[in-house]
Structure 1
């Protein structure tokens, strides 16, 4: 039997079976507890819409030419998507580290990039599942139609990849749940809430508007709004470029951390 040359994996350039297995594990993690990971975000998004509608009422007037509830809905959808994508990748890594079974992921013949992509697949899948559920609810109960389905889907995937990569980095950095909670409360939540979810950034003072436009999550919210109701504060092409490049940088950073074993092999 011919043996592979030194440095050449017998699985080939890409271990497709290993990558598929890791991705499947990450997807099954949230599917088996769907009431917590899929139903709960749908209920939370509905509560956000109901509370804002009751609190502000019809007197709020239109925003960017559409009713306030319609303006609000895509932002809440994307905010929910990114929060769930982040939670999927970060919780998986932190739980594995706390329980001491992270070695089960590091030992198999998976390259650092394959590990990153496997975790990202789970985060992106959860984001897409949540987006589909919320979109169905918005269409059914608010009577909204999707203006640009392809753009909405593209930004959903980008949002899942972006916050999924952030979740991998946070999960590698955090060694306990308290550290992860701090990252969620002081980084992820402010990025989500201060990104134009509940308002148009053009209504902000110039300095705050510039700060908001420096936040990649703003482009995710804005892109989802354009995909859903056809209005936005910036061109969707700009959003895809900004978020795409930022995601590539984050994926590279996650790959570097896994390749070097940072806070994983100590």
Structure 2
């Protein structure tokens, strides 16, 4: 018995560098990435088609009549917002669905039993969300370049906000997935929290056109800064300072990640 325990400890030591279980972290991250990559028609192609339909419908319905917005054609103004909205929705879905499905099917124990700390679980889940968000953004960005000849004005700024958006909504997805025990609870969180945050954040309009009260409410929404930051990175114009947006996005991402880490570390609503 003592020899077996010693062998186990030695084996675990070989898989760690310092206090981090790199093998476990890598395995969880790869599992989360493979979850969406094996069904790419649903997780990657479908969002691309949805974004294209949004642009086409808005262009047909009000594009020619709308005129320029913030000095650029309406469709050019709309494109970055659609891209970011799609990114955050997919990042949220990646982490939340992974946890909820595991809880409903009863195999969440497969994630809890390995020697993974709360931080390692958090990073593993976020890796999948960020990977899915970035791939979706690259696909939509390529489509915008080919169809609308939109070349990013500040590509690194756009990439930063895309990663921040995927991380923030991925963390929110972890919190939602831990809290929800059933699919209908998850649907309620999506419909009443995530969708309003995405739609009421300047995706389809400039917040400068809103009344002062609604402007103040919009500026309290972290998703507004994500969309505004990506818009600055893609077309070079925005409603607010990109530096302020980056500060808000980093703060919001850290805050939601700390909450998710606390839940995962304690096994809140995960351990029977």
Quick check: TM above 0.5? yes
2:101 is the alignment partner of 1:100: no
2:93 is the alignment partner of 1:87: yes
Shift of 1:258: 1.1
Work out the CA distance in 2 between the residues paired with 1:234 and 1:226. 9
Q: Which residue of structure 2 lines up, in the alignment, with residue 260 of structure 1?
A: 266
2:224 is the alignment partner of 1:222: no
Equivalent residue runs for 1:123-142 within 5 Å = 123-142=129-148
Work out the CA distance in 2 between the residues paired with 1:67 and 1:157. 26
2:45 is the alignment partner of 1:39: yes
Q: Which residue of structure 2 lines up, in the alignment, with residue 111 of structure 1?
A: 117
Moved over 2 A (4+): 9-12
Equivalent residue runs for 1:181-260 within 5 Å = 181-260=187-266
Work out the CA distance in 2 between the residues paired with 1:182 and 1:129. 27
Work out the CA distance in 2 between the residues paired with 1:158 and 1:111. 23
Question: Which consecutive residues of structure 2, in runs of 5 or more, have no partner in the other structure?
Answer: none
Q: Which residue of structure 2 lines up, in the alignment, with residue 56 of structure 1?
A: 62
Work out the CA distance in 1 between the residues paired with 2:57 and 2:176. 31
Q: Which residue of structure 2 lines up, in the alignment, with residue 68 of structure 1?
A: 74
Question: Which consecutive residues of structure 1, in runs of 5 or more, have no partner in the other structure?
Answer: none
Q: Which residue of structure 2 lines up, in the alignment, with residue 15 of structure 1?
A: 21
Q: Which residue of structure 2 lines up, in the alignment, with residue 177 of structure 1?
A: 183
Work out the CA distance in 1 between the residues paired with 2:79 and 2:143. 10
Shift of 1:235: 1.1
Work out the CA distance in 2 between the residues paired with 1:162 and 1:233. 21
Work out the CA distance in 1 between the residues paired with 2:223 and 2:111. 30
8 Å CA contact 2:175–2:260 kept in 1: the answer is yes
Shift of 1:61: 0.6
Shift of 1:57: 3.1
SS of the aligned residue for 1:123 comes to: helix
Shift of 1:58: 1.3
Q: TM-score, normalised by structure 2?
A: 0.94
Q: Which residue of structure 1 lines up, in the alignment, with residue 32 of structure 2?
A: 26
Equivalent residue runs for 1:146-157 within 5 Å = 146-157=152-163
Residue range with higher mean Cα deviation, 234-243 or 47-56: 234-243
SS of the aligned residue for 2:68 comes to: coil
**What is the number of equivalent residue pairs in this alignment?**
263
Shift of 1:203: 0.4
Shift of 1:79: 0.1
2:159 is the alignment partner of 1:166: no
